[in-house]
Structure 1
């Protein structure tokens, strides 16, 4: 058996200065059961997970090892900043492309207007995002 959950339970219990017996009493189980969890010999009954997570102040999904669905606020902010940077770069690149294509005579008015419109949309998205 994987002992990751057991190590996590043990660590969180100790952070709370709680004995195995105290944790067991709060869950209405034996301290032997808690000991087995922490040694990786068994897992908590699924019905105990919400209460156990509450006692240990941890998200039940994290207790179960499912942290993939959690994205920290910092990660979300970094993702948002990256997306906004991409919009800025695309908007700038389109504007430069229109300029260069017009200078070398390889585009017509309709194509230039379309590319400039897309450029403005990209830059507009970044400006709207700053207001929020």
Structure 2
């Protein structure tokens, strides 16, 4: 039996303490960088609102908000290439998430393992300057 003063968490909303830490864009979204938990490979970037984050934290599979389709999508439901949550971290500003996953199959819609395989931009390689 619960006391009248006990607050039972609502399983259909994001924990208010977590929600208070988020710094959302104008559409109410936070960037979610998805990384393979054991190799450290960056697999993809998606977007989450409070509901997508709640689902990700409570269901063990990654859910995103599709800006183009204006709907939720759980990675792997149609492709079979699921992302199983291992950890979720919030950056120091509260405006980006790092989602560590066990990726089954390709992470990219093109069939590549990551969304960052195909195009490497020319860049000058920098070297740290010694403080000596």
TM-score, normalised with respect to structure 1: 0.25
More helix by share: 1
TM-score, normalised with respect to structure 2: 0.25
Q: Which structure carries more relative contact order (alpha carbon 8 Å, separation 6+)?
A: 2
More strand by share: 2
